[in-house]
Structure 1
């Protein structure tokens, strides 16, 4: 039996793919740095061996799956090349794997992980489904009919895929260390659109997605009246949202979701649209929507006494606004405290004023030092530059975490794509 060795197994997509291959009966192992990441927990539960990087990990007869973060001069990849072991990049391997199923990719500048999680849960209520979610969750079914996966636009990695369907949630400018501007991002999505085999399900409320051209049907969903799948009569409560779905102006069904914010309604509508297109009964869709528990680090709540703590991956101004909006819907009478750690200097520099504007939606803001990337230069940018643009703002150090205690009956939003969880852990130890 071939042994699959993952170089960089703790990466979110890599961890998910390793779980899928393991669940399908393959022998899987991997390597990474000696630091704990939440993505390794499901690997250890499955008994998958994780080593530290070392050339000696690579043995003849293996297939090496290499994470996109590691260049060809990595010691393990050099060793594989020396002894004639096949090395396949993560996105190439995934692109080949999905050909065995009815494949459903979910892409977009925001909402990929949440929508992929919801899609895989709803599909699983109808037929065996394998899935790969960008929060480090993967699941393999040997008899799977569907394969739902998160498809990342960064460095155009998603162009390795030729799925049956592609959900496109939105197009926004992000990853300024790679994309030159919004036109470059639109170009990447347009290239992706030409590789889809059956249909594209796209948010018609997004002006960039309205212009997408494809060789397959493009089905639009959203709040606007020009969409094929339209959400009307939206009612928001502190327990979730209810809305009517109309398909080309004909009433389809009323749906209820236990999630918050406009973006959550759109994510659900994307899933409803795809499932309807595939002939999945409305009752199954509704039942699965109600039983979905969410994905990791997306509005993940915990309670400590009278305080509500929310962990969220929001790392772009659009996402911060959506997270604060969701919090206002669920907790309209509580003070909202944002604890935000910017992720990468290039993103912080590009969106400095946008970050400030989005964070103004909170009642008080604490900023953590910028979580830099090894592939970039900080220059002269510091967290003080962002702090100067925000009223009611304090720069937070883990050793000064006690300052958060002064807020009573509050909701604390810990947001960021770096290691903002260490601030939450420090705070929880003081409560």
Structure 2
């Protein structure tokens, strides 16, 4: 049977190879010795990088790309009528979604699997810094090694697991790490909290070692043998410093002394503490302390992309809990920079379903943490548009409603109907959202 073969003996073709999740698997499997090919509809940074590794890539999709491969793996957006899917079916080649493929990719690996509604990418990158000899597949690019994948042939791997589509249940965790279990993506759990929480129970039950944030309301109810972090009592003496305008948090963890980690905020100390505790059975504490310093942040999470008269920070925060944490960190950053640093938040709401599910929290999450709020149109992410009276819902912030923003030299221009309605030349701009705001901030769109 094909899936019983060693991975390094397989020929694997990826459809939609330019996506971050699929490209990550391709890079990782290439490092394990597999024969990789791929295709996508357009060329992008990921496809160019994969091509530079010697991976043949078809742009656009073509039936000629399907030859004698053992397995086809496709991204979630690829439909059954895709020309390559149809050709693979004719040839009797095994076809797997990314979710399905995880089982055989990870089945023989020693997986440190990290999940949660918030903080999983950061915690994964921190743990990857602590374990430099482990492979890694993360949902964002680690600045330590400039990729979402550490391409190492290793029996052990740090893996960012995804609860949004239940694929975390296929991640074969040796060590299961849960940052929090706040309900998200409930459409994939029939909007049933018990189904949602049972998935987390199943994830934790499948691991040999568990490490959890025990102050999460749900995780706190679990009576399981695991490594438990109680942030309010285990993490002490949190302080913040700037080094060359880069943010660092200092904190004490339990009886293990002081640690330094890139980033600002209590959530940063929490994420780092989970990574440290999960690593303790593997490494001496002094080695963990030293290796953690190698973490340099991840792309789109408190990502400082300009340090001039105008500082520009790109952040992926797209949930009220994340937005509050990010704005709190921005406030700390502003105070340490000294001077007059007006904080301007530019929010691109991500998905109508998320906005409606968390509407009351979104209406409160900006609080007093920013001096000005600019709201862009909702990023639909494939959803049907819903007519919302955003001016009424968020009018208490007196926001500016704009169509888009545009990077021009060192400034940010705020646009409405293709007209510049405001030019931001100084202060701190933070972009919040998981849509294309990251490209607008960088002048790439």
| Shorter-chain TM-score range | 0.7 to 0.9
Give 1:24 shift.
2.5
What is the match of residue 265 of structure 2? 261
What pairs up with 1:320-339 in 2 under 5 angstroms?
Answer: 320-332=323-335, 333=338, 334-339=341-346
1:15-57, Cα deviation, whole Å (9 max, x unpaired): 1111111223332221223264x54464244243332223332
What is the match of residue 115 of structure 2? 107
Give 1:365 shift.
0.9
User: Paired residue for 1:397, among 393, 404, 409?
Assistant: 404
What pairs up with 1:294-373 in 2 under 5 angstroms?
Answer: 294-332=297-335, 333=338, 334-360=341-367, 361-373=369-381
CA distance in structure 1 between the aligned counterparts of 2:52 and 2:304, rounded to whole angstroms: 23
What pairs up with 1:44-193 in 2 under 5 angstroms?
Answer: 44-50=51-57, 51-124=59-132, 128-135=133-140, 137-142=148-153, 144-179=154-189, 180=191, 182-193=193-204
Q: 1:184 to 1:382 in 2, by over 3 A?
A: farther
TM-score of the pair, normalised by structure 1: 0.87
Give 1:14 shift.
1.0
CA distance in structure 2 between the aligned counterparts of 1:178 and 1:26, rounded to whole angstroms: 32
**Equivalenced residues, count:** 409
TM-score of the pair, normalised by structure 2: 0.85
Q: Which runs of 5+ in 2 are unaligned?
A: 1-8, 142-147, 407-413
CA distance in structure 2 between the aligned counterparts of 1:414 and 1:321, rounded to whole angstroms: 13
SS at match of 1:164: strand
CA distance in structure 1 between the aligned counterparts of 2:194 and 2:397, rounded to whole angstroms: 29
What is the match of residue 272 of structure 1? 276
What is the match of residue 3 of structure 2? none
What is the match of residue 4 of structure 2? none
Q: Does 1:206 align with 2:206?
A: no
CA distance in structure 2 between the aligned counterparts of 1:41 and 1:349, rounded to whole angstroms: 38
Give 1:183 shift.
4.2
Give 1:389 shift.
5.0
What is the match of residue 243 of structure 1? 251
CA distance in structure 2 between the aligned counterparts of 1:397 and 1:114, rounded to whole angstroms: 28
Give 1:91 shift.
2.5
CA distance in structure 2 between the aligned counterparts of 1:388 and 1:178, rounded to whole angstroms: 32
Give 1:157 shift.
1.5
CA distance in structure 1 between the aligned counterparts of 2:308 and 2:342, rounded to whole angstroms: 15
Q: 1:358 to 1:407 in 2, by over 3 A?
A: farther
CA distance in structure 2 between the aligned counterparts of 1:170 and 1:383, rounded to whole angstroms: 30
Deviates more, 1:86-95 or 1:162-171: 86-95
SS at match of 2:423: helix
CA RMSD of aligned residues (A): 2.4
CA distance in structure 2 between the aligned counterparts of 1:345 and 1:40, rounded to whole angstroms: 30
What is the match of residue 418 of structure 1? 435
CA distance in structure 1 between the aligned counterparts of 2:227 and 2:401, rounded to whole angstroms: 45
For the Cα contact (< 8 Å) 2:240–2:250, is it kept in 1? yes
